[in-house]
Structure 1
Amino acid sequence: MANPAIRAVVIDIEGTTTPISFVHDVLFPFARTHLPALVRTGAFDPAVAAELAAIEEAAPGSDPVTVLMGWMDTDAKHTPLKTLQGLVWRQGYAEGALKGMLYPDVAPRLRKWHAAGCRLFVYSSGSTEAQRLLFGHSDAGDLTGLFDGFFDTRIGAKRSSGSYQAIGREIGLPVDTILFLSDVEEELDAAVEASLVTCQLVRPMDKTAASERHPTADDFMRVEELFDLVRWRA
């Protein structure tokens, strides 16, 4: 049933706007190759030094590169890793070695929803820097101007309801007028616990298992149909 009350959409990236294969087969290997050189700049770059200090606090006396590689091996969502990955990817995008990959239905719908007055946000385990880079250097052009804000794990874990409560406060709208899109059922569960509206993206390319607890859509066109997103006007 259509939900005419939606006034903002919070969007996950991996498996939602972007194929999982792009993250795991392109972005992660690029970071793995270039992170050691970035770590070596830590004494000269305050942004890197701050994250190295956080790694030292988490794993005292350990080699930071070894820690980072271990976190990557387990797909850990630690903020120092995500921040340093973002710094590596910034250089890759700037040099043209990387270009953000989006599903073809994503950019046209984001532009349409934005024009209709829906406020758009991103919430991903990747750093806000990485989010802006992907959408700013996407294969559909620079989309960053469509978004009102970006959230990462600094606001909280994606499977914690408190994170979505905090996002609701930051957005400044009633949480039951905010739609969260993700492919991960447990993230959607946490969002529902915080009283957000949810929809699971079930992308055939990613072989996502469909949830029985949330509405599902195989692309953003179906999301638009389910929630009447273009009814809203600025």
Structure 2
Amino acid sequence: MLKTCSGVIAVSDQVRDSLADQLGVSPGQKARILVVPNGVRLPAPVTATERSRLRASLGVTDEQVLIVGAGRLTRQKNFARLIEALGRLEPTGADWRCLIAGDGELRAELEAQIAAAASGSRIRLMGLHGDIPGLFAAADVFCLPSLYEGLPLVLLEAMGAALPTVAFAIAGVTDVVAEGVQARLAAPDDADALADAIGALLVDAPQRRRLGLAARAKVESHHSFDAVLNRLEQVYRT
């Protein structure tokens, strides 16, 4: 591939490293694989009144802590582990709800898991949802339990909505967020660790706000369309 082009663009460090390994390139050739991250449109902040309206439309009160996830219902996205983790939350007094937007091959399996869970009445699979920006505007916490990712657009979209993230510390995620800065990260595929990370945010509204504002700032500076276009222009001028 590198013999026929001046360079290759990868969306993350992990994708660059994986591509270099697959191509068997030398360290000198690897320098021609340039990282330009994905970009997203930043949503306008919503008013408190609009946020309350959005939450009410989802069956969530202003007092409840709303955890959201979004993605295909596949093994990779690993929502089974999120459902398991939610069932392991220590009693905190927090009144939480979890909504998962998306559809896929595991829907029936996940529905059965939710039905059997002690916390199942608090968790709902929404199916395909036509207003992800509205869902994120209504939410308090975004959870990404994936086993592996490149550079997930859904993570950037949640960050742009000023949501704190709970995720497994996997490549692609750690390219974007840092533990205790924009997110709470858990050991990969560890339900107990994921439960601890979620639980820490359920009872700490100031921490949720701090991480969420840092997430929005990171997207503004690195992953807005303007930031990505500036980076692409630098690549083309190199």
Q: Calculate the TM-score normalised by the size of structure 1.
A: 0.40
Determine which structure has greater relative contact order: mean sequence separation of CA pairs < 8 Å that are 6+ residues apart, divided by chain length. Answer: 1
More strand by share: 2
